[in-house]
Amino acid sequence: MNRKMMKRVLSVTLSTAILLAGCSGNSKAGSSDSSAEPDPDKTYDITYTGLWCFSDYEDGSFAEKMIEDALNLNITVEKAETTDTIDLLLASGEMPDCMWTETKTPKWMQEQELIRTIPKSMVEKYCPKILEYYEKNPLIYKMVSSTDNEDEFTCLAGLTFQFVDYYLPGDFYRYDWIENLGIDLGVNVEQVSDRLYVADDGIELSKFIEIMDAFVNKDPDGNGKKDTIGAAAPDWGVGGLGQFYSAYGFSRDINERNGRAEQYYVLDEYKEFLKGFQELYAKNLLDPEIIGNDRTIAWDKVNTGAAGYWLSTTNTLNSWAVDRPPLVLLDRDPDAKLLATPGIRPDGGEVQAYVHPTPAYGKFYVNANVDDEKLAKILEFFNYTIFGAGDKEITAKLFFGEKDIDWKWDEKGETPVKINVLNSGDKGTWSFSQYGQTEEVTKWVGEEELFQAGGKYWSKGDNGTWLKWQHRPYKADLANETQYEQIAQEINGDLEAYVASYRTQAVLGQVNVDDTWDDYLKELDRIGYTRMMDELEAIPSIEDMIAELEK
């Protein structure tokens, strides 16, 4: 879709553009008649599932009742959220009228005849604000537009700016340990708050190894004992060690090599990563349990003072992360100081940080049996839950609960201040609004005091200097134009298991990486790796897609 066509999508009158709550339609499924309106005296029944709609979701919650009263709806929340429960829900033939999911592609949902398309004219009428975001981020159009009809969407994408502006990959060190050891980091370090320090560049790999050696073999905490350990990581999921990959000159997800899209785990640089970590593990410079897959183990070692380095994101400086470091560590140990860095880099090289291609978040599908009249109400529901129908107080209630009970406005009347800290899902908070994290909401939930202290390094709003090292994946089949996703779903179980098994064997020193590398690649091909990646050769790179859309 070119930019000229997008302009046509947004060519609405000013009066229509401000109709955030919208009017309605009154025709049958599959049509695009947006002129008719639903009966204003009728209560519409809508079934729904989304994030934080677990089995313990409280029917008739505060948020649910607020939406029902505002829109004249009777909402039934289907208790499903995980991939498994979503699969069971769909397999049972009981797909709700509308739902959010992050795992099912539009192509798959259409092939199963589960969903209907959504006319752009109706989106234009009932929630034009979402189109403004799609216009600013035209890759989203490719993700949600029908390949058969440019005037229809297969689904709607939600928004979050956390994965492009706030969840910056990085790492944390115990800076008080570094000070005790007298280590020169080779980068500029600034104290931005009482106990938070920030590096202006990534730590070089050789320096990182020097630090881990000192953490393990010296006495960084000054207790007279050799009881501290090396690097702790959150998990070993495929792609879960992006900051470590940076140290060897590549990033997680899909990289470009010789003009071809390749997954990180087939790169020569990944081979060097495995050999490097095999050596570090043999020298006891990694947490012995780093090969496990339980991030809570690593968190506990940091929080109890056993480990002084861990992978994380800058967003864990906010209060949502109260169960993990660094907040637990700072609370438990008043002498602990933190150093945040954008990651590890090769000696003489640059940090390679992964960033999502767009702020798109989740996919909102509408059941195939929904007609246009009901679709109109569902789009009103979408607009109310994602944008608060243009009222930021509604949005605040959907995220934080009851005003003056669970939260209040700050002195400027701009930001909610928590009175009663609710878990996500309590009172229906986040259950309907999770995918509506606009820039304003993202600041509400992701820019608390400690985070803001280092904003000039990692916040897009402050033109953060770390952002220059972020890289989108080289390619991604955003519009499901190829068989890539289908093949990936067929082989990913075997593929991920084999990659994980080989990685573990390599790090533990059970295989010689140089001697077994060719056999490793051959087995990936046997599983289907090359067949999967060949599909991406048919589509342009993400940067080329953006250039084409912006013509």
31-55 residues labelled b (16+ CB within 10 A) or e (exposed): ebebeeebeeeeebebbbbbbbbee
Place of tokens 């640059």: 350
* Paired tokens of 534: 């060949």
Predicted local distance difference test score (pLDDT) of residue 33: 54
Predicted local distance difference test score (pLDDT) of residue 499: 93
Predicted local distance difference test score (pLDDT) of residue 318: 86
Going by C-alpha positions, the residue among 166, 178, 179, 232 that lies closest to residue 210 is 178
Which whole-number Å values give the CA distances from 88 to 18, 145, 396, 444, in the listed order? 39, 27, 32, 35
Gap between the Cα atoms of 310 and 337, Å rounded: 14
Instruction: Characterize the bridge pairing of strands 44-49 and 98-101.
Output: parallel
Q: Give the pTM.
A: 0.82
Contact between 120 and 130 (Cβ < 8 Å) = no
Predicted local distance difference test score (pLDDT) of residue 35: 56
Contact between 3 and 549 (Cβ < 8 Å) = yes
Which whole-number Å values give the CA distances from 493 to 203, 500, 506, in the listed order? 35, 11, 20
Contact between 156 and 118 (Cβ < 8 Å) = yes
Q: What angle do CA 243, 294, 82 make, to 5 degrees?
A: 95
* Paired tokens of 80: 């499903």
Contact between 33 and 39 (Cβ < 8 Å) = no
Predicted local distance difference test score (pLDDT) of residue 21: 35
Q: Which residues contact 130 (CB under 8 A, 6 or more apart)?
A: 123, 156, 159, 382, 383, 386, 387
**Ranges in the chain, pLDDT < 70:** 1-36, 165-167, 234-242, 293
Contact between 288 and 507 (Cβ < 8 Å) = no
> How many of the other CB atoms lie within 10 Å of CB of 2?
12
Contact between 238 and 500 (Cβ < 8 Å) = yes
Predicted local distance difference test score (pLDDT) of residue 36: 57
* Residue 174, Cβ density class (10 Å: 0-12 exposed, 13-18 middle, ≥19 buried): buried
* Paired tokens of 476: 């991604």
